[in-house]
Structure 1
Amino acid sequence: MAMTERPLLIYDGDCGFCTRSVRAATRLPVRMRVLPWQEADLAELGTNEERARAEVLWVATSGRISGGAAAVADLLKACRVPWPLLGRLMSAPLVRGLADRAYRWVADNRYRLPGATPACQLPPEQRPRTDRGGRSR
């Protein structure tokens, strides 16, 4: 686990829906860095490409990594009031299962949602890969 100065939100930069969702998240009242997984040093952060392709990741300043609905809840908990209340609610045992299922449904159907790009429709192993400068490889 690598400690970070500010929390870090890692997302799929090849996915239009993901990119639009993260742009919305940057309007929340929280100090964080945002980085597509394609530009992140995942090994240094303590994770891998397989996990980053499957779910959004939240890297806390302690280096602890959460993914999927838990990452969204942790992001909300890091915000100013009233957002932490929603983050704690999403983490509650009864709600957490629903949040996980909702997140998985969105992730599995993101190519059908507003803002999707053709790359979102491809299986992960066939999506265009980019180098650190954002160019396709």
Structure 2
Amino acid sequence: MMTAVLLYDGDCAFCSTCAHWLQRWAPARAEVVAWQLADLETLHVTVAEADAAVQWVADGDADRDDDGARAAGPEAIAAYLRTAGPHWRVAGRVLAFAPVHRVAWPVYRWIAAHRHRLPGGTPQCALPSTAREPGPGPGGRTAP
């Protein structure tokens, strides 16, 4: 059985909204966790990597990058979708398809740069994580 984690920015309202949407509408065989509440050391993910883009770590082997075991940004989203229901698996394969993939990263970067202006976003989302005020994470828990 696959063990997988999708890490997102729990300090960003837009990112949290997207992560909760995925959990609700595209449930997968993966945990969806705010990186601020995750044991990044065990997952072999740095704070800089987690802060830069959504991260996917599967099968407990964070050092492998084949078979979707480790991915970031749209590749991470594609890997997550490939573990969800049949329709979502197709969407994950399409997102990983080379022509789509070439467009996915620029779109992902644009969304990340403008997430504070998107639905569910707040002005706090525009700040780099080091400039954000620490606050309660998902479920009211305070991030470590």
> What TM-score comes out, normalization by structure 1 length?
0.87
Kindly, what percent of the aligned residue pairs are identical? 37
Which structure 2 segments of 5+ residues have no match?
Answer: 62-68
Aligned-partner Cα distance in 1 for 2:143–2:45? 23
Q: Any unmatched runs of 5+ in structure 1?
A: none
- Matching of residue 123 in structure 1 with residue 133 in structure 2: no
1:22 to 19, 23, 43: 19
- CA distance in 1 between counterparts of 2:76 and 2:3 reads 15
Superposition deviation, residue 44 in structure 1: 1.2
> Amino acid of the residue matched to residue 115 of structure 1?
G
RMSD, matched Cα: 2.2
2:141 aligns to what?
A: 134
State the match for 1:73 in structure 2: 78
TM-score after normalising by structure 2: 0.83
- Equivalence for 1:45: 43
For residues 136 and 31 of structure 1, do their structure 2 counterparts lie closer, same or farther at Cα, with a shift above 3 Å needed?
closer
Aligned length: 134
One of 90, 99, 122 as aligned partner of 2:95: 90
